[in-house]
Amino acid sequence: MNDMTTPWHKSSYSNEAGTCVEVREGPNTLVRDNQNPHLDVLGFPTRAWADFLSGIRAN
């Protein structure tokens, strides 16, 4: 479970139109749609999220 006091932050890959995802980091990394924050979030183990970011940065 994530620390609910950890703030959401906007992805650095956000576009100028404001369409983006927001991320909350903690024991698990949570990801949500910034335009629909009331909808469900996706959760990833921290290591899996780090591997994902590493993969997209390599491309």
Residue 56 confidence (pLDDT)? 86
| 15 located within any domain | no
Please give the residue that has the higher pLDDT: either 16 or 20.
Answer: 20
β-bridge partners, 21 = 33
| 31 located within any domain | yes
Count of domains in the chain? Answer: 1
pTM recorded for the entire structure = 0.74
| 29 located within any domain | yes
Domain of residue 30, residue span? 21-58
β-bridge partners, 32 = 22
Write out the two tokens for 59.
């491309």
The H or E element containing residue 56 is helix 46-58
| 16 located within any domain | no
| 10 located within any domain | no
| 54 located within any domain | yes
